[in-house]
Amino acid sequence: MERTTVQETTIEEVRANIDALDRRIVELIAERQTWLVAAGSLKKDEDAVRAPAKVEQVISKVRGLAEASGASAEVVERTYRALITAFIGLELDHHRTDRVQG
C-alpha cells in the first residue's frame, strides 16, 4: 500500500525526506555562493557588497515567495537574513582578496 499523506508516514520516512531536502538545500546554497562570489568581485567597494537596500529587496521578494508557497514568511525571512549575513561576510572576504591581488 502506497502512503499518500504526511500523516501516514513513519518517522524514518520523514527523516529520510528531510535528509534528502537538506542535500538539495546545501547544493543550492553552494550554487548561490558561486554567483555571490562572482558578484562580490564585480562590486567597486564594501558598501556595494553590504547593500542594505538590496538586502531588504531580497527579503521582500522571498517573503512573497514564501506566502505563495505556503511557507512561513517569518521563518523564510529569518533564514534569509542569516543566509545573507553569512554570504556578505564571504563576499567581503573575496572582495578584499580581489582588491589586494588586483
Helix H or strand E segment including 9: none
User: Can you list the pairs that 37-40 forms with residues at least 24 positions away whose Cβ atoms lie under 8 Å?
Assistant: 37/90, 37/91, 37/94, 39/91, 40/90, 40/91, 40/92, 40/94, 40/95, 40/98
Q: For a pLDDT cut of 70, what percent of the chain falls above it?
A: 93
CATH (domain of 78): 1.20.59.10
Q: What is the mean pLDDT of residues 79-101?
A: 88
Residue 1: is its pLDDT beyond 70?
Answer: no
Q: Which domain holds residue 65?
A: 6-101
Residue 1 falls within a domain, yes or no?
no
**Number of domains into which the chain is organized:** 1
Residue 95 falls within a domain, yes or no?
yes
Q: 30-73, pLDDT tens digit by residue? A: 999 999 988 888 889 999 999 999 999 999 999 999 999 999 99
Structure pTM?
A: 0.83
Residue 35 falls within a domain, yes or no?
yes
* Cβ contact 33:87 at 8 Å: yes
